[in-house]
Structure 1
Amino acid sequence: MRFDRRGVAMLATLISVLACSPADEPPPTGHHLPADHRAGAPGIGDPDFPTDGNGGYDVSHYDLAIDYTPTTKRLEGVTTIHAGATQELTSFNLDLAGLTVREVSVDGAPATFTRKGDELTVRPPQAIDGNTPFTVKVTYSGLPKPATNNANLGTYGFIPTSDGAFVASEPNGSKTWFPNNDHPSDKATFDFAITVPAGVTALANGELAGQPTTAGGKTTYRWRERHPMATYLATATLGKFELRRGNTAAGIANLAAADPKFKASLNGLYTASAEITDYWSTVFGPYPFSSTGGVVDDYSAGYALENQTKPLYGGFDPGETIIAHELAHQWFGNSLTIRRWKDLWLNEGFATYAEWLWSEHKGKKTAESFFTDFHQRPADDPMWKYPPGRAKPDDLFNQSVYTRGGMTLHALRKAIGDATFFTLLKTWAAEHRYGHVTTEQFVDLAERLSGKDLNGLFDAWLFQPRRPA
């Protein structure tokens, strides 16, 4: 999510307006069809973002090898992608913005490639059979340029800083630093080998795979995220950091990092991350990953992002409210990932409601009080005109997706009672652990557990452009 430094959700568009297109028809299959019918589609099939992701294959694992020099801002990269073809492929696309591709191979054999915009089209030396695993290796280099949007938030992706890089890629900024299938509907595991000048720390998702090694004035950090992850949650945040390592009371590995400018926030970040992770484990079910924590960098992004296992806070000392929000995303957004961006309320509404639950848990303002205060907004407030169940591609991170999304959950809680509601949260997280989710699945589960017809409630709160009664 995007969260401003005052602790109030800064809800803004992160992407340019993209025209809707009709859903692609299934590609024909067969060995004797023209080559263009055996090409992987240039989009994964999200009609709101037709050029994001790619069709014809599913990625299972990324191996990222990156060498970055902050003084020159130059990145040398080798990305190896392990995937499985879902159709016969004479060519397929990868998402990559800028950067110069020097070489591409498929299963060890040289492949030809072309570039058009952010699409890298790869033609293997021979067609890949459907339902067949394959490996593509891309060698590239250049000066990464972050993505910018056309609204009021600004910059995301790989953002160079004076001592490294701030890497927060939601929604489609991972292509600014490595070639990939850049859409949340294709999750994969990750290995990172990040080489930086000695004295610079490289932080990525998951846990360190061995100790960093230094040679020739450079240090290589190896990180491994063995749980499936959407590309927009991948990070390679680099710089000079103060670190604190340990475990939560429940035994989950905990790593907090802070730029020296924010050294005073280190212990608070470490302590709050531990306490909140353990508490959410009692509310939402077992923590889905192997480590928790967070990173405060000296880049004035003005927002936070829930990078898997390492939420990132851009240029401010996060309070418990923001930490609670970002850590709730480890369940809702990271473990349970939306198939299409239109269902973003399943991420942001849940994390917003988690803020209210945390406040309630700490004996402060109750979720009912938050709900009541927001519901008292006048009927002409813009929030009521934006139905959060259908996030708009040109206004993806609108306030309604967060606040009205959270209100939907409280209205549901009141309708089905606390016992059923909190059972619902745990069941939802357990049944779809590491998978993908849709609004329809959540409605179906809520009705199954409560034994009630809830279509009217969800329609009023998620899909009508007016204030619900």
Structure 2
Amino acid sequence: MRHRLIVPGAAAAALLLLAAPASAAEPTPGAPGAGDPYYPDYGNGGYDVSHYDLRLTYRPKTDELAGTATLLATARQDLSRFNLDFALDVTEVRVNGKKARFGTSGAHELRITPAEPLAEGEKATVVVRYHGTPSKVKVDGFTSWHRTPDGGVAANEPESAWWWFPSNDHPTDKASYDISVAVPEGTQALSNGTLQSQRTRAGWTRFNWRSRAPQATYLATLAVGRFDITRSETDSGLPVINAYSKDLGEHEGAARASVERTAELTEWLENYFGSYPFDALGGYVPNTDTTFALETQTRPFYSPDDFADGSNTSVVVHEMAHQWYGDSVSVKGWKDIWLNEGFARYAQWLWSEDQGEGTAQELADYAYASHPADDPFWKVAPGDPGPDNQFHRAVYDRGAMALQALRNRIGDKDFLALLKGWPKAHRGGNAEVGDFVAYAEKVSGKPLAGLFDTWLYQPSKPAAHVSAFTAGRTPERPRSWKQIHTADHPRR
């Protein structure tokens, strides 16, 4: 039963004031970063993006890009303001149909104030109109937009979106994508996923691409130029689209002999990692002066340099291995990069073993013996290498050695179960190194924290068991060694 207290006059008014519920907390701005200690201003706080719709026009001759990005997002808190990561010029922003105030802050922050604050849990449609010349825009002295003789390419890690679409640029906020690009007739526009349609009208061709599976922003790619495109299907019916710049010159044959085997190599990887996690695959080789490959989701980017010494199936294995380890299962933070690069390197070791060019154990032995105890190589901790060493050779090679040590400890049966089970358990999501350690212990039933601490975190050369790694001498270099390391270059 409720009781009503009657108090006359001013006393009643005072009591009513005291009894009134507290007013709702004032909306607060979303954080200008996702909280990643390696890159504090990458990503943003306060909301999640579920879908990006990009409608773009690109002029290859002048490198001019214009577009409208529509983001479907959900507020994770009451929001008076929020940020997007972006570096081109913005002309208009709308939130839920109403014009919003906007400005810039920091090196790559677009700060948006909607006409009406967003409530926690509220869905928002954010429309950004923009334009610019990506190759002329530098952030902290660099650009992730690669100009080519016939167009341009967006591909880099850990950042590339800033130069072609506004985003919440951190791997923890994955989304689906529709990417529509109009280019002059005779020019092609490549992106991730499946090609939904292609139409030519009044001298322009519009390509419409769709990525259904969750995708991190740095894994979105755009390539515009004159390409020779090949189309086929896997045995299971997935579309395979590969593309080669028409200006590759002497690298063309080796590039084709490698990338055209993508479907075959993906089927081979399924033996170790389980079913392929996406609905399309392929790769592309533009005429860039870059010196690295990148695992852009469903359609990896390769540099002509990757094929300078001839065909290179190993680099294709590396980038396709990332489709499981890095793309489908993405890092929670950039410190967890070993979960990407250590496993992709180990996939190359497995391919070498399959081809009779050096077993995984022989490659581990050679890598171990190649670095004396006082080599700075051992100072880099693959489990938390720091932003300056995120793509250090140790993350790749010492990271793969950690997996060989794990294989030796738990045996091939549990090791294979682990390689397959991990991407299945975390498909489409994010994970950190600690999650993998716990999963490995669960699968094997063995305590493994000490092994992982030794190989991933201690700043010294592990004491190897003679039965596992060569001690006291440098073994013969496996035949696959040089090819495996072709694509090991800094990203910038």
When the two structures are superposed, what TM-score results if normalisation uses the length of structure 2?
Answer: 0.85
* Aligned position for 2:212: 226
Q: CA deviation at 1:48?
A: 1.9
SS in 1 for 2:33: coil
Aligned counterparts of 2:142 and 2:413: Cα–Cα separation in 1: 42
Distance, in Å, in 2 between the alignment partners of 1:408 and 1:234 is: 30
**1:244 equivalenced with 2:230 (yes/no):** yes
Closer, same or farther: CA 100–250 of 1 in aligned 2, 3 Å: same
- Bigger mean CA offset, 113-122 vs 78-87: 113-122
TM-superposed deviation, 1:34: 4.7
**Partner in structure 2 of residue 407 of structure 1:** 401
Aligned equivalent of 2:165: 178
CA distance in 2, matches of 1:147, 1:67: 18
- Once the 2 structures are TM-superposed, how far is the Cα of residue 307 of structure 1 from its aligned partner? 0.5
2:122 to 132, 142, 148: 132
Q: What is residue 142 of structure 1 aligned with on the other side?
A: 132
The structure, 1 or 2, with the larger RCO (C-alpha pairs under 8 Å, 6+ apart) is: 1
Stretch of structure 1 that moved more, 380-389 or 315-324? 315-324
The offset of 1:244, in angstroms, is 1.0
Aligned AA (2:204): K
Match of 2:314 in 1: 321
Q: Within 1, Cα distance between the matches of 2:62 and 2:56?
A: 14
SS at match of 2:50: strand
The equivalent residue for 1:165 is: 152
Q: Which residue of 67, 72, 80 maps to 1:77?
A: 67
Change (3 A) 1:146 1:434: farther
**Following superposition of structure 1 onto structure 2, how do residues 78-227 of structure 1 map, counting pairs within 5 Å?**
78-97=68-87, 99-116=88-105, 117-145=107-135, 157-210=144-197, 212-227=198-213
Q: Indicate whether 1:284 and 2:293 are aligned.
A: no
* Deviation of 1:147 (Å): 7.6
1:256·1:295 contact (CA, 8 Å) conserved in 2? yes
Tell me which of 347, 355, 359 is aligned to 1:366.
359
Bigger radius of gyration among the two: 2
SS in 1 for 2:348: helix
Partner-residue secondary structure (3-state), 2:405: helix
| 2:339 is equivalent to residue 342 of structure 1 | no
| Contact 2:402/2:452 (8 A) holds in 1 | yes
In 2: Cα distance, 1:369 partner to 1:83 partner: 49
SS at match of 2:79: coil
Report percent identity of matched pairs: 45
1:63 corresponds in structure 2 to: 53
Q: 1:243–1:266: 8 Å Cα contact kept in structure 2?
A: no
Measure the CA separation in 2 of the matches of 1:274 and 1:364.
Answer: 21
User: For the Cα contact (< 8 Å) 1:296–1:312, is it kept in 2?
Assistant: yes
- Please give the per-residue CA displacement for 1:363-417, whole angstroms capped at 9, x wherever unaligned: 2210000000111121112211111100211222111111111111110000000
Secondary structure at 2:299's aligned position in 1?
A: coil
Alignment pair present for 1:459 and 2:453: yes
- How far, CA to CA, are the matches of 1:387 and 1:414 in structure 2? 21
1:293-326 CA-partner distances (Å, limit 9, x unpaired): 1101111201101100111112233611100000
CA distance in 2, matches of 1:242, 1:120: 37
- Asked if 1:436 is matched to 2:430, the reply is yes
User: Which of residues 284, 300, 303 in structure 1 aligns to 2:289?
Assistant: 300
- Please report the TM-score for the alignment, with normalisation by the length of structure 1: 0.89
- 1:242 maps to amino acid: D
Aligned to 1:235: 221
For structure 1, list consecutive stretches of 5 or more residues without a partner in the other structure: 1-29
Tell me the CA shift for residue 255 of structure 1.
Answer: 1.3
The one-letter code of the counterpart of 2:181 is: I
**CA shift in 2, pair 1:182/1:222, >3 Å:** same
3-state SS of paired residue (1:394): helix
2: CA distance, partners of 1:93 / 1:221: 29
Q: For 1:434 and 1:122, how far apart are their aligned partners in 2?
A: 29
* Equivalent of 2:391 in 375, 397, 402: 397
Letter in 1 for 2:150: D
Equivalences for residues 370-381 of structure 1 within 5 A:
370-376=363-369, 377-381=371-375
Alpha-carbon distance in structure 2 between the residues aligned to 1:270 and 1:306: 13
In 2, Cα distance between the equivalents of 1:438 and 1:138? 33
Letter in 1 for 2:44: N
Alpha carbons of 1:294 and 1:462: their partners in 2 closer, same or farther (altered >3 Å)? Answer: same
Could you tell me how far 1:421 is from its partner in structure 2? 0.2
The answer to whether 1:264 aligns with 2:250 is no
Distance 1:269 1:207 in 2: 21
**Letter of the structure 2 residue corresponding to residue 104 of structure 1:** V
The CA deviation at 1:270 is 4.3
Paired residue type of 2:221: T
Q: CA deviation at 1:149?
A: 9.0
For residues 192-233 of structure 1, give each alpha carbon's deviation from its aligned partner in whole angstroms, at most 9, with x where no partner exists.
0101111110000001112x1111211110000000000001
Cα 1:146–1:47 change in 2 (3 A) is: farther
The answer to whether the Cα contact below 8 Å between 1:67 and 1:75 also exists between their aligned partners in 2 is yes
For 2:383 and 2:23, the matched residues in 1 are separated by 42
Matches of 1:234 and 1:221 in 2, distance apart? 15
Q: Which amino acid aligns with 2:394?
A: S
**Counterpart Cα distance in 2 of 1:69 and 1:57:** 33
Shift, 1:292, TM fit:
1.2
Shift of 1:134: 0.6
Over residues 20-69 of structure 1, what are the superposed CA-to-partner deviations in whole Å (9 max), with x where a residue is unaligned? xxxxxxxxxx964455xx11000011122110000000000000111110
Q: Which residue of 2 aligns with 1:312?
A: 301
Gapped regions of structure 2 (runs ≥ 5): 1-21, 464-492
Residues 31 and 458 (structure 1), Cα distance of their counterparts in 2 relative to 1, 3 Å cut: farther
